Amino acid sequence: MDVVSLIPQFGGFLYTLTSFVVALSVIVAVHEYGHYIVGRWSGIHAEVFSLGFGPVLWSRVDRHGTRWQVALLPFGGFVKFLGDANAASGKDEEAMADAEGDEALLRRTMHGAPLWARSATVAAGPIFNFVLSTLIFAGIFMAQGTPRDTLTVGELLPIPGLVNELQEGDEVVSIAGLEVPSLEDGTSWAAFRNQIPSEQPLDYGVRRDGVEVTVSGPNLAPPYVHSVAPRSAAADIELVPGDIITAVDGEPIVAFDQLKVIVENAEGRVLLLQVWRTGQTIELALAPRRIDEPQPDGSFATKWRIGISGGLAFSPATKSVAPLDALTAGSSQVWMVVETSLSGLKHMITGAIDTCNLSGPLGIAETSGAMASQGAKSFIWFIAVLSTAVGLLNLFPIPALDGGHLVFYAYEAVVGKPPSDLAMRVLMTLGFGAILTLMVFALGNDIFC
């Protein structure tokens, strides 16, 4: 065996693992801190705040008597409150019996606190995940800005084999004789994009220094690789952002829509791509894959895809986004992730889409590494998406998850007393079994799909 040849693979594995651990640690830390801080505000004492499981690598006790620790296995975390027997907040019968005679001590336990305090503490974990996602999305929107109402040329892409007469700062009035609508009018913009001829060069009517002139430029949406989807056909052959696909099976293309049509019509047949990359032309072969894509109405459509997204021939000049508008857009993005996730789960259960759409830890880890390799912005965006998914998952009404505890509290609010200890033990066991089954199923998807 050539040991030297394994070094790049080992390095890639470490990069993927590190990216996964960083993403998961941020999300878990925020989730558990939500439980901890709201529990503290509610008068419930936290004995242990742990990032990770297993042997403790580092710990310290703060002035509130909480032991903060980092454990060896960085794949989760927990907060153990007074009166808890374990990380899943099972009741410690002995500790609770000792607290029975001390009203003040009983009030500080998780199981002796008022119903409102327990409910708020449990709900805080997922809520903090949603807040984290909203803030990340909002921060990205503020950092990148939003395109100006009038399409204005920003940074130009290098387009091979073309003399591009567009200049940064040009306000685009028309393309190929078609009037450019406001970017805020999504319907008109989509219709405009569909009418642009799949050819180049195109005539651009631009306003430059207050004067309208006509210049020659590229197709508005060239076959440019803006991003690569993890675990896709494009990722497998190492297409990278910045690549421009200039021909498919020897036929030149100049528009992303041309590529899309070819991929859909190939129906999985291997395609030979001619790719322009930083001044050099390379050839790559790939086979499109069937992908279940979410639709605007909440349904899913199965399409042939290679796993890339396109962009314009230039970056539109942007304007700043107000903090409140960014937060509104961030919360809308979180809601979109929630809706898409629930719709996907529903369609998997009904058999409308393949259950291979459910990823397990290996798939999430691979996606973490892929997004990190595309840059900090992509990786941080992925953390926000994953944080939303973790918050949503924890709200599922499964015993041992936060949602299961909230169901128990709802039962207590209606009946006037919590479920019996025996019922709780049975339900928690069933909950752990359901979670383990789901994890094994998702891991099987990672391996066999």
Task: Give which of 390, 334, 338 is closest to 31, Cα–Cα.
Answer: 390
Are the beta carbons of 168 and 313 closer than 8 angstroms? Answer: no
Backbone angles phi, psi at 228, to 5 degrees: -120, 125
Q: Is the pLDDT of residue 2 over 90?
A: no
Are the beta carbons of 384 and 138 closer than 8 angstroms? Answer: no
Are the beta carbons of 177 and 143 closer than 8 angstroms? Answer: no
- pLDDT-wise least confident of 121-125, 343-347, 384-388, 391-395: 343-347
What integer is the mean pLDDT of 6-32?
Answer: 82
Question: How far is 138 from 331, CA to CA, in rounded Å?
Answer: 8
The three-state secondary structure class of 345 is helix
The residues pairing with 17 across neighbouring beta strands, listed in sequence order, are none
What integer is the mean pLDDT of 265-292?
Answer: 93
Q: Please, which pLDDT band fits residue 87 given cuts at 50, 70 and 90? A: confident
Q: Is the pLDDT of residue 7 over 50?
A: no
Are the beta carbons of 162 and 201 closer than 8 angstroms? Answer: yes
Q: Is the pLDDT of residue 335 over 50?
A: yes
Q: Is the pLDDT of residue 23 over 70?
A: yes
**What does the angle CA 116 – CA 118 – CA 123 come to, to the nearest 5 degrees?**
95
Per-residue pLDDT of 55-71, as tens digits, reads 999 999 999 999 999 99
Q: Is the pLDDT of residue 4 over 60?
A: no
The terminus-to-terminus CA distance of the chain in angstroms comes to 29
Find the radius of gyration of the CA atoms of the chain. 27
Identify the helix (H) or strand (E) that includes residue 415.
Answer: helix 402-415
- The amino acid occupying position 315 is S
248: which DSSP letter? E
Q: Is the pLDDT of residue 6 over 50?
A: no
Task: Give which of 367, 319, 389 is closest to 149, Cα–Cα.
Answer: 319
Are the beta carbons of 391 and 126 closer than 8 angstroms? Answer: yes
Question: What pLDDT score was predicted for residue 1?
Answer: 42
Range list of H helices, 288-397: 323-349, 361-373, 376-394
Task: Give which of 88, 16, 77 is closest to 424, Cα–Cα.
Answer: 88
Same fold, 148-217 and 224-312: yes
Question: What pLDDT score was predicted for residue 91?
Answer: 82
Per-residue pLDDT of 186-197, as tens digits, reads 889 889 999 999
Question: How far is 165 from 177, CA to CA, in rounded Å?
Answer: 17
Write down the catalytic residue from 32, 103, 184, 283.
32
Is 32 an annotated catalytic residue? yes
Question: How far is 223 from 263, CA to CA, in rounded Å?
Answer: 12
Can you read off the two tokens belonging to residue 234?
């494009």
Can you read off the two tokens belonging to residue 150?
């009038």
Question: What pLDDT score was predicted for residue 24?
Answer: 95
Question: How far is 285 from 100, CA to CA, in rounded Å?
Answer: 70
Q: Is the pLDDT of residue 3 over 60?
A: no
- Residue boundaries of the structural domains of the chain: 3-44+113-143+388-448, 148-217, 224-312
**What does the angle CA 362 – CA 141 – CA 139 come to, to the nearest 5 degrees?**
75
Task: Give which of 401, 419, 400 is closest to 409, Cα–Cα.
Answer: 419
User: Hey, what CATH class is 224-312 in?
Assistant: mainly beta
Identify the helix (H) or strand (E) that includes residue 277.
Answer: strand 271-277
Question: How far is 343 from 361, CA to CA, in rounded Å?
Answer: 21
What integer is the mean pLDDT of 137-159?
Answer: 92
Are the beta carbons of 162 and 244 closer than 8 angstroms? Answer: no
Q: Is the pLDDT of residue 180 over 70?
A: yes
Per-residue pLDDT of 207-231, as tens digits, reads 999 899 999 999 999 999 999 998 8
Q: Is the pLDDT of residue 322 over 60?
A: yes
pLDDT, averaged across the chain: 91
The more confident residue out of 445 and 324 is: 324
Question: How far is 419 from 148, CA to CA, in rounded Å?
Answer: 57
**What does the angle CA 332 – CA 335 – CA 341 come to, to the nearest 5 degrees?**
145
- pLDDT-wise least confident of 6-10, 101-105, 108-112, 398-402: 6-10
Per-residue pLDDT of 241-272, as tens digits, reads 999 999 999 999 999 999 999 999 998 999 99
What integer is the mean pLDDT of 109-123?
Answer: 95
Q: Is the pLDDT of residue 10 over 50?
A: no
Q: Is the pLDDT of residue 97 over 90?
A: no
- Residue with token string 């086979």: 287
Question: How far is 152 from 130, CA to CA, in rounded Å?
Answer: 34
Backbone angles phi, psi at 132, to 5 degrees: -60, -45
Question: The dihedral of CA 66, 72, 76, 80: what is its sign?
Answer: negative
Q: For 146, what's the count of Cα atoms within 13 Å in the CB-facing half-sphere?
A: 16
- Residue with token string 């029975």: 100
* Rounded percentage of the chain residues whose pLDDT exceeds 70: 98
Task: Note the CATH number of domain 148-217.
Answer: 2.30.42.10
DSSP 176-236: TTEEPPPTT-HHHHHHHHHHS-S-SSEEEEEEETTEEEEEEE--SS-SB--EE-TTSHHHH
Question: What pLDDT score was predicted for residue 95?
Answer: 82
CA 263 to chain centre: 26
Q: Is the pLDDT of residue 12 over 80?
A: no
Backbone angles phi, psi at 272, to 5 degrees: -100, 115
Question: How far is 425 from 413, CA to CA, in rounded Å?
Answer: 20
